[in-house]
A and B are shown apart, each in its own frame.
Chain A
Amino acid sequence: MAIRPPLTSTVDPVEAPTPMTITETAPDTGTTTGSAGSPQNEFGELGSVLGTGDHARIGRMFLGGSFIGLVAALVVGLLLDIERSSADSVSLLDNDMLLQMVSAHRMGLVLLFALPALLGLAFLVVPLQVGASTVAFGRAAAMSLWTWALGSALWIAGYLVGGGPGGSDLRGTDLWLLASIMVIASLLVASACVVTTVLGLRTRGMTLGRVPLFSFSMLVAGSIWLLTLPVAIANLVLIYIDHRYAQALFGANEQILPQLGWVVGQPQIYAIAIPVLGIAGDIIPVFAQARQRFYGVSLAAIGVFGALSIGAFAQTGMPGRTISEGDPLGIAGDPLYIGMAVLAILPVLMVLALGADTMRGGRLKFGAPIAGALLSGLVLLGATVAGAVDVVEPLDLFGTTWALGQFQLTVGALIVGVVAGIWFWAPKIYGRTLASGPGQVLSAIVALGSLLSGAALLAAGALDQPDSPAPGAVRDGVEALDLVAAAGAALVLLGVVAVIAAVFQARNRDDDTPDDPWGGHTLEWATASPPVRGNFAEAPEVLDERPLFTPNAEEDAQL
């Protein structure tokens, strides 16, 4: 593929070494010299997997693992929805398990899917977008992957032995608390790798103002995670010490989830949705075949959305809207809390409006990525609107399923956004293009399921249904809405399973994948599909935020 202006090749990215002892000649160390390849791997493919520091491989494993976590969490959520929609006299699940499942569903979607999926996508795409040869701290990224995987296994094991929030097994709960710390810490290490890559490994000419929107959104999101999630770790450490040695501060296991509820409630829940704006922002101009309008405003909107998602201040207490009974430290009336919830609509609206303006000024071509990008943006907009309504005190929505509906919409937006990202960057991730038709249908199914589930829970919440799946908690008259919510959850699960199947089918297909099937605007499309080792033969130099953009991008895509 031709390198288009204003992209220009440049000199070696490594500064010319000044010390006289450094040369391009391998030292005479008594061993084979001059080898540029990897050291001999004595343990075959397994050794390659376990010992890898390759950002693409780590990213693929993060992404794959996160979808396993997603399916598990969605199954638990579906069971809870079915439980909620069943008649009072019929209970499919043991009462003792319900609280465990509530936490498994909500925390699981964040810790086992949302963060690792985004980090996986970032490991795959961010180094390419910023023109780096690798991710920063590749070995730390590998450690974060394995620590996350093992921590997730222990996290699930904690539930299986009867622990976790609401669990009756003390050791199981200890295990759950420590595994949660392990999982969050590993994700923070991965975040540090991504953030450092954007900050420190950008190629020549790529100022922060020229960083592609997905990479910029990961910089913002990673920074927010690094700022806020250590508070969750501190929470967990405190709870663990209390639970293990005294049970004086937080009492029995039932108080664990209310203490951690801020992680899955607004405004913190928006921290997982920041990259949705970046994904949409990168996809829309490519399919509109037009330069992104007001690029700097898009960057600012993503930054503002990030600032409005800092929710660690809410950890002093829950707004009393989930399963907690009463909340003396509630922040429901806090002006900052209310202001953040209301203002969160604006940056999302801004990014979507700029996207619409870009599409209006270009020649829109349709495909699975643009369908997913637009749907994810719209679902996220719905989530922020629901969040703003949630804090309107006279409506008295606290403690109802309204907040759960908003959570479902936010996570739904993220799932659709990640699916759109996978379809868009598939040539770089798997070295294959994914079929467009199924991609559009599956994005629509997941978005529809999220909207159904979220809207039904919002409506049930407006009718004062409490946020508890326990039998007897269902308010009369909303059974139909609960059934719709369950149907929506089933639709999302179905869509996600179909997405996994479609990806596997495409990976087994043997075809000739073009380097740039879309006529992309950013640097990842300037390298091979899949990328070569080191990503770029020569470090590129960029002169604006869309180095590969030309007005005839469609023609370039065919080259």
Chain B
Amino acid sequence: MITLGAKLYFGIAAFALVAAAVLGFATDASVLGILSFGWSGPIGDQLGYTVLLGLALASFFMGVVTTAFRDADATAVTQVAGTETLPAPTPPAGLSPWPVVAAFSVALLVIGLVVQPLLFGLGVLLVLISALEWTATAWADRATGDPVANLAIRNRLMVPVEIPGAALLGIATFVFFASRVLLSLSKWGSIAVFAVAAIAIIAVASLIATRPATSRSVITAVLLVGGVSLLAGGIVGISAGERDFHQLGEHGDDGTGHADDAADEQIETETGSGSDNDAVTDTTDGDTEG
């Protein structure tokens, strides 16, 4: 069922679309250009057409979202909540971290724009996550007058998204920062660091497995220390930069998949073989030689 709010958005979208077409025809657009949204033909006043078309698209999107979430439709909310009845709605009373997370994300975005594109990307990602979480929470907040019931409704909707999302984000973060550490260390240094890290992880995991009574706060503290160490190592690795790599396959590749031995020897002679911070990579077969 299309809700009242969705009807408003769809109406605005239709109006903006018609207005864009009228503006286009009034400013020397071609029929084909209007019908193909400027893909193959002139659209007349480009700025006005783009603004109106943007309004139409945004309104259409909002209409779809409003319809999908069936905003303020009590029957739909009971279906999502899996319940028979709902308390009457009241203003939200609970705490929400997303406003402050969104604010920090915007700050990160601004700092990233000035100093580091990576931070900008992270800011954008966090803004998107905040927007998604906030939307879901706000929607659930309005569902009933009971904060606990609202939380259950929100969890029912978001947990299936949050757990895989958080897992993916966690893995990506681990891979990224671990790779920064690996790339900044020398060949043997990286082997040594990660051998120690692996042993530490196994040791901690074994300890926890053999002592099930270990308190939750101790486990949290250990994980926190590990996470902070990884982040700190990754940030130091980023600032130190990658170690030097010499691409051998670019010189004298004979087309058989084997690098030109003479060129390899030449580079090895020039770079020296005893440097800890140097590595020679044969891109043709993936081996790395110190």
User: Restricting to B72-93, which residues have a CB under 8 Å from any CB of A?
Assistant: 74-75, 78, 81-93
Q: A21-B75, A21-B85, A27-B84 are in contact. Are A35 and B144 (CB under 8 A)?
A: no
Stretch binding the partner chain, chosen from B34-42, B97-105, B223-231: B97-105
**B99 with A139: CB separation less than 8 A:** yes
**B93 with A28: CB separation less than 8 A:** no
Stretch binding the partner chain, chosen from B18-26, B109-117, B174-182, B205-213: B109-117
A148 to B290, CA, bound (A): 52
Q: A17-B74, A178-B110 are in contact. Are A33 and B99 (CB under 8 A)?
A: no
**A51 with B100: CB separation less than 8 A:** yes
A437 CB–B CB distance under 8 Å? no
A53 to B144, CA, bound (A): 17
**B87 with A139: CB separation less than 8 A:** no
Give the residue name and chain of the B residue nearest to A178 (CB): B110
CB proximity of A518 to chain B, nearest CB, Å = 28
Give the residue name and chain of the A residue nearest to B85 (CB): A23
**Which of B75, B78, B107, B115 is the most central at the interface, judged by chain A CB atoms within 10 Å of its CB?**
B107
**A21 with B84: CB separation less than 8 A:** yes
Residues of B within 8 A of A37 (CB): 93, 147
A508 CB–B CB distance under 8 Å? no
CB proximity of B147 to chain A, nearest CB, Å = 5
Residues of A within 8 A of B78 (CB): 21, 27
B148 CB–A CB distance under 8 Å? yes
**A22 with B86: CB separation less than 8 A:** yes
A174 to B111, CA, bound (A): 10
A122 CB–B CB distance under 8 Å? no
Give the residue name and chain of the B residue nearest to A179 (CB): B110
**B94 with A39: CB separation less than 8 A:** yes
**B148 with A138: CB separation less than 8 A:** no
**B151 with A150: CB separation less than 8 A:** no
CB proximity of B84 to chain A, nearest CB, Å = 7
A238 CB–B CB distance under 8 Å? no
Total interface residues in chain A, CB < 8 Å: 52
Residues of A within 8 A of B83 (CB): 27-29
A146 to B97, CA, bound (A): 11
**A138 with B95: CB separation less than 8 A:** no
Q: A32-B148, A34-B146, A139-B98 are in contact. Are A22 and B103 (CB under 8 A)?
A: no
Give the residue name and chain of the A residue nearest to B152 (CB): A29
Contact of A27 among B85, B91, B94 (CB under 8 A): B85
CB proximity of B261 to chain A, nearest CB, Å = 48
**Which of B103, B111, B149, B151 is the most central at the interface, judged by chain A CB atoms within 10 Å of its CB?**
B103
Q: Between A and B, how many residue pairs show CB distances below 8 Å? A: 158
A39 to B154, CA, bound (A): 13
Q: A175-B110, A182-B107 are in contact. Are A24 and B93 (CB under 8 A)?
A: no
**A30 with B152: CB separation less than 8 A:** yes
Provide the B136-171 mask, 1 if CB < 8 A to any CB of A, else 0: 001000001111110111000000000000000000
B96 CB–A CB distance under 8 Å? yes
**B97 with A51: CB separation less than 8 A:** yes
Provide the A2-17 mask, 1 if CB < 8 A to any CB of B, else 0: 0000000000001001
B106 CB–A CB distance under 8 Å? yes
A100 CB–B CB distance under 8 Å? no
**Which of A133, A145, A146, A533 is the most central at the interface, judged by chain B CB atoms within 10 Å of its CB?**
A146
**A39 with B85: CB separation less than 8 A:** no
User: Restricting to A136-184, which residues have a CB under 8 Å from any CB of B?
Assistant: 138-140, 142-143, 145-147, 149-151, 154, 171, 174-175, 178-179, 182
A29 to B106, CA, bound (A): 36
A138 to B111, CA, bound (A): 27
Residues of B within 8 A of A24 (CB): 87-88, 145
**A150 with B107: CB separation less than 8 A:** yes
B134 CB–A CB distance under 8 Å? yes
CB proximity of A202 to chain B, nearest CB, Å = 15
* CB-CB nearest 8 A-B residue pairs: A51-B95, A27-B83, A146-B103, A143-B99, A142-B99, A19-B74, A29-B152, A150-B107
